[in-house]
């Protein structure tokens, strides 16, 4: 809902959904007597035979249950955005994710039972849950890429679909929403890690895609690449040269591999030149 004047249309959708799922008619609602609940909304309730209770203006304590839940939701939204390093423009996705998790969590009012279990009458599953704002490698369909393009893109997980069959992601490069189920999650990294990796040297190395030392899934991007990254190639081919290497000296590693490939190309060029000199 983008504006308050859309509340009647959203309420009609809610009424149909609730009555269809429960098999019962909506009999009574209670609001805070705001302007959006007057006029057409009030008239609709009278036509449908719905008892409409209104609290006095500026008495939020009489609607305490809803007000406390609103506060709880907004506090959790603020925390999710802070931990995920996302801007306030993602508050709607964070709110939807927060409500989804609350409906899967035990509550005291239901004697430690789960709201979704009580509502739908079946056990709930937690296998589809993931960390909000975490980095993910999303598969790119064939019709959206050429033969030489990468088969994955780095995105940020921003929520669930209306069921457990797909997820929602934000692509920071193309600035668009991606909906898919074919994904690999990296739940200990956020959008800041994507921004850091994008600043490093990429694409000009001879051994394929290299997303950096924090990522071990780069072979997904290029199925022809035997090693995960350049570090793995050097370590396997030239012994324990980098055995003391750690992820904290990433820039020193960049300098090392730059020097290594420079010397390698210089040696190869010298060898080819000497061969041509002998035969010519």
pLDDT digits (tens, 9 = 90+) for 145-160: 888 888 999 999 999 9
Residue 254 pLDDT grade (very low, low, confident, very high; cuts 50, 70, 90): low
Q: Give phi and psi for 180, each to the nearest 5.
A: -160, 170
Contact in structure between 201 and 261 (CB atoms under 8 Å): no
Model pLDDT, residue 195:
66
Question: Rounded CA gap, 270 and 65, in Å?
Answer: 79
Can you tell me the mean pLDDT for 74-83? 94
**In the predicted model, what is the mean pLDDT of the chain?**
78
Q: What is the 8-class DSSP label of residue 34?
A: -
Average pLDDT (246-264) is: 63
Residue 134 has what pLDDT?
Answer: 93
Task: Express each pLDDT in 5-51 by its tens digit.
Answer: 888 999 999 999 999 988 899 999 888 878 888 888 989 999 999 99
Give dist(CA 76, CA 81) in Å, integer.
9
The answer to whether 242 and 231 are in contact (CB under 8 A) is yes
Cβ neighbours around 234 below 10 Å, total = 20
CA dist., res. 29 & res. 85, Å (int): 38
Residue 138 has a pLDDT of 93
Assign 83 a pLDDT band (cuts: 50, 70, 90): very high
Give the tokens for residue 171. Answer: 């692509």
Q: Are 254 and 201 in contact (CB under 8 A)?
A: yes
Which of helix, strand or coil describes residue 47?
Answer: helix
Q: Where are the beta strands (DSSP E) in the chain?
A: 28-31, 51-54, 135-139, 152-160, 167-171, 176-180, 183-186
User: How far is 157 from 132, CA to CA, in rounded Å?
Assistant: 6
Per-residue confidence (pLDDT) for residue 200, from 0 to 100: 44
Q: Among 116-130, 177-191, 262-276, which stretch is predicted with the lowest mean pLDDT?
A: 262-276
Q: Above 80 in pLDDT, residue 57?
A: no
Q: Look at the chain and count its residues.
A: 280
Return the ∠ at Cα 110 (arms to 104 and 116), rounded to 5°.
30
Residue 206 has what pLDDT?
36
- pLDDT at site 19: 92
Q: How confident is the model at residue 77 (pLDDT cuts 50, 70, 90)?
A: very high
Residue 123's alpha-carbon distances to 71, 113, 114, 272, in angstroms, are 28, 11, 9, 69
Question: pLDDT at position 121, please?
Answer: 87
Q: How far apart are CA 176 and CA 124, in angstroms?
A: 31
pLDDT of residue 185: 93
Full-model pTM: 0.64
Partnered with residue 180 across adjacent β-strands are 167
**Could you read off the pLDDT of 183-233 as tens digits, one per residue?**
999 988 888 877 665 544 344 333 344 444 444 443 433 334 444 444 454
Name the β-bridge partners of 136.
155, 185
Query: Per-residue DSSP letters for 204-247?
Result: -STT-----TT---GGGT-TT-SSSSHHHHHHHHS-STTTT--G
pLDDT of residue 21: 87
């Amino acid at each position: 809902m983008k504006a308050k004047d859309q509340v009647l249309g959203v309420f009609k959708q809610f009424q149909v959904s609730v009555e269809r799922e429960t098999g019962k008619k909506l009999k009574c609602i209670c609001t805070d007597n705001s302007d959006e609940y007057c006029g057409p909304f009030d008239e609709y309730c009278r036509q449908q035979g719905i008892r409409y209770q209104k609290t006095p203006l500026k008495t939020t304590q009489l609607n305490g249950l809803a007000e406390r839940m609103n506060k709880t939701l907004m506090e959790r939204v603020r925390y999710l955005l802070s931990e995920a390093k996302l801007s306030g423009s993602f508050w709607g996705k964070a709110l939807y994710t927060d409500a989804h998790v609350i409906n899967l969590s035990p509550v005291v009012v239901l004697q430690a039972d789960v709201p979704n279990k009580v509502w739908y009458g079946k056990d709930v599953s937690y296998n589809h849950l993931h960390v909000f704002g975490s980095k993910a490698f999303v598969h790119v369909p064939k019709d959206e890429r050429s033969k030489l393009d990468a088969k994955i893109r780095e995105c940020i997980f921003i929520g669930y679909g209306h069921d457990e069959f797909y997820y929602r992601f934000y692509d920071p490069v193309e600035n668009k929403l991606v909906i898919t189920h074919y994904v690999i999650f990296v739940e200990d990294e956020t959008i800041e890690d994507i921004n850091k990796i994008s600043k490093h040297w990429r694409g000009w190395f001879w051994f394929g895609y290299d997303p950096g030392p924090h990522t071990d899934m780069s072979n997904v991007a290029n199925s022809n690449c035997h090693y995960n990254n350049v570090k793995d190639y050097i370590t396997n081919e030239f012994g324990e040269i980098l055995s003391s290497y750690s992820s904290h000296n990433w820039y020193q590693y960049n300098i090392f591999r730059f020097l290594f490939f420079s010397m390698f190309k210089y040696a190869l060029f010298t060898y080819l030149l000497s061969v041509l000199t002998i035969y010519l």
